[in-house]
């Protein structure tokens, strides 16, 4: 009986010591949460292991996250693949069509949504302002520059080549006029007017030559002869060319002296306002002006943008992760996390395991107690 009682007693004591020791060892991982002092002397093993090593734990967790959990390769495998690219493209196309391209909102509505109001009025005012500016610039050039400076050289050469043609046309029309009855009457009236201004001399000439109609009949052939003469054409061409050369060296404003620009400016403004019809154009939706927008966005725009974005993001992924400083973010979060809450989470996850560790300590303590009991009995 002595052997049994000794073994039982030693086993009970060993089991109690093992269980209690493991229990408090687990507790000491977290508790106490803060260092305890007796006066200025810090009590040993305070605070607990995890609170005491929180900075090191936070740093190691941060390094573990960035080096093993959230590495660039993991992001690439998870997010930078064809499947994810197709899903992203589909979502963006769907949202783009639903919210923008196929929306009933007009151009004016979108502008108002962006905080821009009275667009038509502002645009018309801007057009009128630009018309005034351009006309003022043109008028300034007219005041200081000549035709020779303003007109292109090929225009001037073209005008020079037209002088002979113009002179020939004038002589031809002059000849046709003086051959006609109207021309004859004009010559007669000119002679009558001339003679009437000469008083007695005119009456004497009229008396000698007879009626002015007969005199006109004599003058008319001479006029036609003069118009048909080659020298007349050469003379007129020379005169026109000389005057044209002088005209090219005069400021354009002198030629347009007295010309009122205001009606022209007003007409240009009215024409532009009517043709542009900005207010009416703003009352249409995007699909009105771009009916193939959805197909274009789905087949060309969005796929190219997504592909470019994925390529650029993948190329700069390591740099982005480095700039994000994830290890510092994890460290800051761990540092700011309450130890009590951390203890609650760990114990909540590993409660059964910790109980088994306590039980295991009791079992091992009991076995050690049995062995000690046997040793004591046989050596006593």
Please give the pLDDT value at position 37.
72
Task: Look at residues 167, 156, 158, 162 and name the one whose alpha carbon lies nearest to residue 248.
Answer: 156
Q: pTM of this prediction?
A: 0.50
**pLDDT greater than 50 at residue 208:** no
User: Which strand (E) or helix (H) includes residue 126?
Assistant: helix 119-144
**pLDDT greater than 80 at residue 240:** yes
* Region of residue 179 (left: phi > 0; alpha: psi -120 to 50; beta: else): alpha
Give mean pLDDT, residues 329-358: 71
**pLDDT greater than 60 at residue 206:** no
Give the least confident one: 34-48, 138-152, 244-258.
34-48
Give mean pLDDT, residues 105-122: 85
List of residues 6+ apart from 358 with CB closer than 8 A = 19, 22, 23, 26
**pLDDT greater than 80 at residue 95:** yes
Residue that has been written with the tokens 């403004």 in this structure: 269
Q: Which has more pLDDT, 379 or 280?
A: 280
d(CA 326, CA 317): 13
Give the least confident one: 40-49, 250-259, 288-297.
40-49
pLDDT confidence band for 304 (50 / 70 / 90): very high
Asked whether the beta carbons of 175 and 224 are under 8 A apart, the reply is yes
Which residues sit opposite 251 in a β-bridge? 146
User: Which strand (E) or helix (H) includes residue 96?
Assistant: helix 82-96
Of the ranges 88-92, 197-201, 224-228, which is most confident?
Answer: 88-92
How many residues can be counted in the chain? 380
Joined together, the tokens standing for residue 272 give 């532009």
**pLDDT greater than 80 at residue 204:** no
The string of DSSP codes covering 57-79 is HHHHHHHHIIIIIS-HHHHHHHH
């Amino acid at each position: 009986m002595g052997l049994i009682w000794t073994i039982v007693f030693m086993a009970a004591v060993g089991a109690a010591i093992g269980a209690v020791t493991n229990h408090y060892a687990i507790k000491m991982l977290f508790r106490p949460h803060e260092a305890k002092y007796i006066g200025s002397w810090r009590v040993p093993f305070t605070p607990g292991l995890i609170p005491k090593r929180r900075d090191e734990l936070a740093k190691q967790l941060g390094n573990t996250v960035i080096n093993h959990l959230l590495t660039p390769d993991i992001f690439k495998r998870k997010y930078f693949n064809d499947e994810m690219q197709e899903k992203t493209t589909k979502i963006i196309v769907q949202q783009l069509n639903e919210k923008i391209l196929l929306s009933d909102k007009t151009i004016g509505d979108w502008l108002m949504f962006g905080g821009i109001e009275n667009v038509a009025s502002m645009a018309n005012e801007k057009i009128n302002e630009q018309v005034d500016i351009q006309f003022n610039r043109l008028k300034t050039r007219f005041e200081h520059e000549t035709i020779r400076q303003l007109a292109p050289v090929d225009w001037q050469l073209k005008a020079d080549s037209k002088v002979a043609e113009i002179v020939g046309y004038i002589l031809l029309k002059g000849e046709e006029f003086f051959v006609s009855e109207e021309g004859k009457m004009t010559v007669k009236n000119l002679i009558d007017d001339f003679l009437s201004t000469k008083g007695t001399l005119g009456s004497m000439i009229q008396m000698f030559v007879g009626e002015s109609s007969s005199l006109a009949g004599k003058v008319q052939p001479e006029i036609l002869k003069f118009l048909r003469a080659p020298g007349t054409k050469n003379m007129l061409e020379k005169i026109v060319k000389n005057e044209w050369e002088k005209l090219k060296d005069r400021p354009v404003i002198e030629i347009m002296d007295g010309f009122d620009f205001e009606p022209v400016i007003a007409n240009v403004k009215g024409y532009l306002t009517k043709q542009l019809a900005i207010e009416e154009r703003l009352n249409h939706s995007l699909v009105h002006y771009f009916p193939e927008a959805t197909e274009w966005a789905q087949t060309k725009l969005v796929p190219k943008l997504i592909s470019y974005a994925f390529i650029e993001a993948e190329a700069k992924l390591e740099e982005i992760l480095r700039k994000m400083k994830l290890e510092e973010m994890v460290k800051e979060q761990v540092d700011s996390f309450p130890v009590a809450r951390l203890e609650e989470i760990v114990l909540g996850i590993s409660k059964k395991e910790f109980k088994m560790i306590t039980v295991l300590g009791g079992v091992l303590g009991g076995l050690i107690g049995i062995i000690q009991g046997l040793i004591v009995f046989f050596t006593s």
